[in-house]
Amino acid sequence: MAKYRADPFKDKVDLGVGIYRDLSGNTPILDCVRRAEKEVLDAQTTKSYVSAAGREEFNAAVEELVLGAAHPARRDKRARTLQAPGGCGALRVGAELIKDAAPNAAVFLSDPTWGNHAPLIGDCGLKLERYPYYDPISHELTFEQMLHRLQAANPGDAVLIHACCHNPTGADLSTAQWQAVTDLLERRRLVPFLDLAYQGFGSSLDADAAPIRAVVERLPEALIAVSFSKNLGLYRERVGALIVVSENAERADAVNSHMLHIARSIYSMPPDHGAAIAARIFAEAPLRHEWVRELEAMRKRIQEMRSLLAGRLAEITGGNSFDFIRTQHGMFSLLGVSREAVERLREKHHIYMTSDSRMNLAGIMPHNVTYVAEAFAAESGR
Ligand SMILES: Cc1ncc(COP(=O)(O)O)c(C=O)c1O
């Protein structure tokens, strides 16, 4: 980021950051957020403390958004939800909960995964393992190896899975693959730890949550870390939640008091402002409709840029080796080139990516797509 800022080149391209950008290169405040925020501030009478669990109406709405209104786990009172400071806060509380319940459990992370997973989960003392997930050269999931690796996990180990829009690969499990993974989790008595940071960025709010809903229907326990940083654009307000599903209502109550204890011991209580905005949007139909429309516009913009870039690369290279960019989901894909090529893209072409060649498709604009495609084709040797 510092190198990008320091580069005086007029047409430099930033594909490195992890945030959404619109066609003007801005990370906008959504209109629904602006309206809800005003209503929240107008109605607010105090800045007194909230509780460790956060806002009840926020937690209930998040549970419904993620699991769906009529999910059996909710009907059977097996789910408990804690408002958390962003998806990161939810991941950390989830990790602490696993650590307290099963100190010797390992958490399996996908290889590759988002760079913050290891510190967020490993720094509480849990052992980390990796499962092969994706081959950046063939641009395909390494699904058989994934199953093979997880087969060797011990009962009680947790498996962190990106619920949709995998970061950094953009490659998600198919419905059949989710089923096969769920079978394995059930058979090996492994605990799914699902990271939902991009609900609505893949296909729709409901479709992106569908794999989670199916997993939770089958398995006795699950943890779900939810983030509203991207889909509500509330990054700095730190809005997220941890949903924990337990075997029965009694255990869910015990888990809940444990989660509250963990929250109190780390940050006491979550920040209120962003969650108050989100709760208002979830509850009021006009605001919610506006949100769904704005979310769809963000998703479509990224999908359009994916198609445009893949199409331009097909024209330039005369082949389809970049077609994966069109078919993958969410903001990120791995270009699949060496660190040296990433450096050349930066030094020669002023195109910035992370060193693993992760590109943020929200950095692509109609005016820079040809420039980027030509540079990618030149430096990837295809
Ligand atoms: C995969 C993944 N999980 C979780 C998060 C958590 O985000 P936040 O703590 O900003 O809500 C992110 C953010 O980039 C992410 O990419």
- Walking along the chain (382 residues) 10 residues at a time, the average pLDDT comes out as 92 95 95 98 96 97 97 96 98 98 97 97 97 96 98 98 98 98 98 98 98 97 98 98 98 97 97 98 98 98 97 95 97 96 96 96 96 95 72
Q: Which atom of ligand 1 is found nearest the CA of 166?
A: 1
What pLDDT sits at residue 175?
A: 97
Position 381 scores a pLDDT of 75
User: Residue 187 and residue 367: Cα distance in Å, rounded?
Assistant: 51
Distance, in Å, from the CA atom of 360 to the CA atom of 355, rounded to the nearest integer, reads: 13
| Residue 197 CB–ligand 1 contact under 6 Å | yes
Any ligand 1 atom below 6 A from CB of 114 = yes
| 200 Cβ closer than 6 Å to some ligand 1 atom | no
Site to probe by mutation for ligand 1, drawn from 83, 110, 114, 237 as the one with most ligand atoms within 8 Å of Cβ, is 114
- The tokens 């960025």 sit on which residue? 201
Please count the other Cβ atoms lying within 10 Å of the Cβ belonging to residue 269. Answer: 16
Pick the catalytic residue: 195, 208, 225, 341? 195
Q: Residue 92: its pLDDT value, please?
A: 98
By most ligand atoms within 8 Å of CB, the mutation choice from 116, 267, 356 for ligand 1 is: 116
Cα 378 to middle of ligand 1, angstroms: 32
- Spatial CA neighbour of 54 closest among 275, 309, 277, 338: 275
70 is catalytic: no
The letter for the amino acid at 266 is: I
Ligand 1 mean position, distance from CA 319 (Å): 34
Residue 230 annotated in active site: yes
Cα distance between residue 156 and residue 174, in whole Å: 25
Ligand 1, closest atom to CA 117?
Answer: 3
Q: Pick the residue whose CA is nearest to atom 7 on ligand 1.
A: 87
| Strand duo 13-14 + 351-352: pairing | parallel
The verdict on whether 197 is a catalytic residue reads yes
271 lines ligand 1 (CB under 6 A): no
Give the separation between CA 161 and CA 184, rounded to whole angstroms. 13
Ligand 1: nearest atom to the Cα of 113: 1
Active site annotation includes 3: no
110 Cα distance to chain centroid: 13
Distance 8 CA to ligand 1 centre (A): 30
- Label the pairing between strands 240-245 and 222-227: antiparallel
Give the number of other CB atoms < 10 A from CB of residue 51: 14
Q: 87 CB under 6 A from ligand 1?
A: yes
240 lines ligand 1 (CB under 6 A): yes
Quote the CA–CA distance of 291 and 38 in Å, as a whole number.
15
Ligand 1 center to 382 CA (angstroms): 32
229 in contact with ligand 1, CB cutoff 6 A:
yes
* Ligand 1 centroid to residue 86 C-alpha, Å: 7
